[in-house]
Amino acid sequence: MDRRTLLLGTLALPLTLPLARAVVRPARAEIDEMTLQVAHIYDPGNLWYEATQRYLDAVTKATGGKVKFNVAASGTTGTWQESIEALPLGTNDIVIQSVGTLDRYDPLPGIEAFPYLIRDLDHFKKVYYGPIGGELYGDIEKKTGFKIVGAGYRGARKLSANRKVVTLDDLKGLKLRVPPLKMYKRTWELLGASPVPMPFLEVFTALQQGVIDGQENPLEVIESKKLDEVQKYVMATDHVIGAMTFIFDSKRFASFPPELQKILQEEGEKAMLWATAEMVKQEDSYRQKLKARGMEFVKPDLPAFRKAVAPIKDEFPELKSWVERVQAA
């Protein structure tokens, strides 16, 4: 049985089964020559593709060329779920995705997708670039077994659809693709839509064929994936301001020489700070491009949206203390 067959067979196991952790060696004092495997779903020209390449180039330079990378971009080796599952198996070493994608392993990472929790860019920076962010990341690592590095501002998530949505009544019966994460699904159920968990790689075709009526994502995704070709309206629901991050298996990361761990941490944080600054600069250009392609931007009844999702805090009591800390930041 070759390695590819073995990996595909492993990834086909039910998600309820515990994932085996890869055997890792104790950390060495010196950095040996090595090649690490990186996986993500982003295409050339996308900001997160560029941020990842910037990170990898910086690590290679800082290690004097000892650490190199193989990159599987554009989802060529699977969905982001499969890519993260491959981290503890040792098939992948680094995955770039949002913090909330780890909520399949513990509820705490789901706080990244908690509706209307992060208020704006300034609040994002106070949370993710302050002491609370370091404590949150440390707690997530303890609970999930994944090490996360850096926080990239994604911009506020918007709803796109072929139906203009202003009030909650406009959402009734709307088949809406959501990431396969508990927080997103419950958010849109409370808002009255019919959420359909689905890998993003299937979204364009599903919209084109009418399997779903809409989706929700930051503007950079809507623009870069050309969703204007299959969607007419963008609603400024701004329900989540999320954070992109570099994800490692915690034990694998700890097996690296301390000097390499330091480089991976520092360069990852720098890459995400760069991505945040770039996103701030580009966000308005995404909006203008989409308008020029014929998409109409709509302002929904945000007070009603916020009120509708307010009960979610009682449905995730394990997040209560962290939600209060983030709100107070």
Average pLDDT over residues 311-323: 95
pLDDT above 50 (res 5): no
249 has which bridge partners?
A: 146
Q: What gap in Å lies between CA 85 and CA 153, rounded to an integer?
A: 24
Band of residue 302 on the pLDDT scale cut at 50, 70, 90: very high
Using alpha carbons only, give the angle 153, 265, 54 rounded to the nearest 5 degrees: 60
- 146: number of Cβ within 10 Å: 26
Token pair 């997160």 in the structure block, residue: 48
Give the pLDDT score at 21: 45
Average pLDDT over residues 271-277: 98
SS3 assignment, position 279: helix
pLDDT above 60 (res 7): no
pLDDT above 60 (res 144): yes
Band of residue 2 on the pLDDT scale cut at 50, 70, 90: very low
Provide, for the chain, the percentages of residues in helix, strand and coil under a 3-state DSSP scheme, each rounded to the nearest 5. 50, 20, 30
What b/e string do you get for 265-286 counting C-beta neighbours within 10 Å, with b at 16 or more? eebbbebbbbbbebbeebbeeb
Give the pLDDT score at 14: 35
Q: Output the CATH code of domain 3-7+33-328.
A: 3.40.190.170
Give the pLDDT score at 18: 33
Give the pLDDT score at 122: 97
Query: Is 315:187 a contact under the CB 8 Å cutoff?
Result: no
pLDDT above 50 (res 301): yes
Band of residue 30 on the pLDDT scale cut at 50, 70, 90: confident
Give the pLDDT score at 24: 54
Q: What gap in Å lies between CA 144 and CA 142, rounded to an integer?
A: 6
Give the pLDDT score at 201: 86
Average pLDDT over residues 52-75: 97
**pTM (2 d.p.):** 0.87
pLDDT tens-digit map of 187-241: 999 999 999 999 898 999 999 999 999 999 999 999 999 999 999 999 999 999 9
CA distances from 135 to 144, 251, 272 (A): 14, 19, 18
Average pLDDT over residues 278-296: 96
Give the pLDDT score at 29: 66
Give the CA radius of gyration of the chain: 20
pLDDT above 70 (res 26): no
CA nearest to 120, candidates 241, 28, 251, 266: 241
Mean pLDDT value across the chain: 92
Task: List the domain boundaries for the chain.
Answer: 3-7+33-328
pLDDT tens-digit map of 72-129: 999 999 999 999 999 999 999 999 999 999 999 999 999 999 999 999 999 999 999 9
- The residues, any chain, with a CB within 8 Å of residue 178's CB and separated by 6 or more, are 184, 185, 187, 188, 195, 196, 197, 198, 215, 216
Q: What gap in Å lies between CA 200 and CA 177, rounded to an integer?
A: 9
SS3 assignment, position 161: strand
Give the pLDDT score at 8: 37
